[in-house]
Amino acid sequence: MKVSIIIPTYNRFNKLANLLNSLIPQIREHRLEENVEVLIVDDCSVPVIAERIKHLLDRSNCHFLRLFSLDRNRGQSFARNYGLSQSTKEHKIDIRQYSSFLAMFLGFIWQLSMKYWNLRDMMRMKNPFAIF
């Protein structure tokens, strides 16, 4: 299963850093580097924030992280759709709210889908988590 995680952002460096600090170790721990791409779409943040985002990504040295910087602020929907248009993986996940809990949940879903179900079968189920 190949997954694109799309993260639109605008002037929210600290929340983005917290999310990536939770998500990157999980991707590495489960050896998912070849199966996951994380697309960060910066919706024209102020220059100081944009530079901090670039520095964070350069420092993380992860080939599965890709940054796209928009030339003007166009809103979250445009940024998300732009990320979707740039994704190369079969399945897409849009993260709108930054949360380390969500990142942990993604790792759990990945493990569960690999062990028990095909992801497409899970998406067709009305409530795939009813067994818990």
Instruction: Inform me whether the pLDDT recorded for 117 exceeds 80.
Output: no
Instruction: Inform me whether the pLDDT recorded for 77 exceeds 80.
Output: yes
Share of the chain above pLDDT 70, in %: 72
Instruction: Inform me whether the pLDDT recorded for 100 exceeds 70.
Output: no
Helix, strand, coil fractions of the chain, as percent rounded to 5: 50, 15, 35
Q: Over the stretch 2-30, which tens digit does the pLDDT of each residue have?
A: 888 899 999 999 989 988 888 888 888 88
pLDDT for 83: 95
Give the dihedral sign, CA 48/60/2/93: negative
User: Which residue in this structure is represented by tokens 């599965």?
Assistant: 64
Closest CA to 8 of 95, 128, 102: 95
End-to-end CA distance of the chain: 23
Q: Over the stretch 38-57, which tens digit does the pLDDT of each residue have?
A: 999 999 999 999 999 999 99
Cα–Cα distance measured from residue 105 to residue 83, given in angstroms and rounded to the nearest whole number: 21
Per-residue pLDDT band for 127 (boundaries 50, 70, 90) equals very low
What residues pair up with 66 in beta bridges, in sequence order? 39
pLDDT for 109: 64
pLDDT for 3: 85
Average pLDDT, the chain: 81
Average pLDDT of the residues in 117-129: 51
The token pair at 44 is 């024209």
The pTM of the full predicted model, rounded to 2 decimals, is 0.76
